[in-house]
A and B are shown apart, each in its own frame.
Chain A
Amino acid sequence: MTISVYVPAALSLLLAAISRIVVGRIAPTRAVVFVVAAMLCAAAATWGLVLLAATLLGDTTLVADEALERGVQLQDPVPQLIGVTAVALLISGAVRVVRVLRARRATTRELRAVCSSCGTGELAVVALAAPHAFAVPGRPGRILVTRGLLSVLDGDERRVVLAHERAHLESRHHWLRAAAEVCAAVNPVLIPVREAVAFLVERSADEHAAAVTGSRELVARALTKVALAGGPDGELRAWPALPFAGCGVSARVAALQSDPPRPEPLVPSSVLALGVATAIAAVQATIAFYQLVYWLWPT
Chain B
Amino acid sequence: MATRVSRSSRTSARRAAGELEAEVLAALWAADGPVTAARVREAVGGALAYNTVQTILVRLYEKGLIGRVADGRRHEYFAVKGAEELAAEQMQALLSRGRDRQAVLQRFATSLSVEDARLLQAMLRRRP
Contact = CB atoms under 8 A, between A and B. Distances in A.
Interface of A: 28-29, 99-100, 102-104, 106-107, 110-111, 113-114, 117-128, 130-135, 143-147, 149-151, 153-156, 158-159, 161-162, 164-168, 170-171, 173-174, 177, 181, 198, 201, 204, 207-208, 210-211, 217, 220-221, 223-228, 230-240, 243, 248-250, 253, 260-261
A155 B23 contact: yes
A35 to B, nearest CB: 15
Most buried by A among B3, B4, B63, B111: B111
B26 A126 contact: no
A259 to B, nearest CB: 12
22 contacts: A107-B101, A107-B104, A117-B82, A119-B64, A122-B18, A122-B21, A126-B88, A127-B81, A128-B92, A150-B26, A159-B45, A161-B108, A162-B22, A207-B1, A221-B124, A223-B108, A224-B123, A227-B112, A228-B121, A232-B114, A248-B116, A249-B109
Interface in B59-79: 60, 63-65, 79
B79 A125 contact: yes
B124 to A, nearest CB: 6
A56 to B, nearest CB: 31
B87 A153 contact: no
Nearest to A231: B111
Nearest to A213: B46
A100 B104 contact: yes
Given A113-B90, A155-B43, A210-B1, A123 B104 contact: no
B107 A132 contact: yes
A171 B2 CA distance: 12
Given A119-B82, A134-B107, A128 B88 contact: yes
B124 A146 contact: no
A211 to B, nearest CB: 5
Given A118-B83, A177-B106, A250-B120, A111 B23 contact: no
A119 B113 contact: no
B113 A131 contact: no
B111 A236 contact: yes
A216 to B, nearest CB: 9
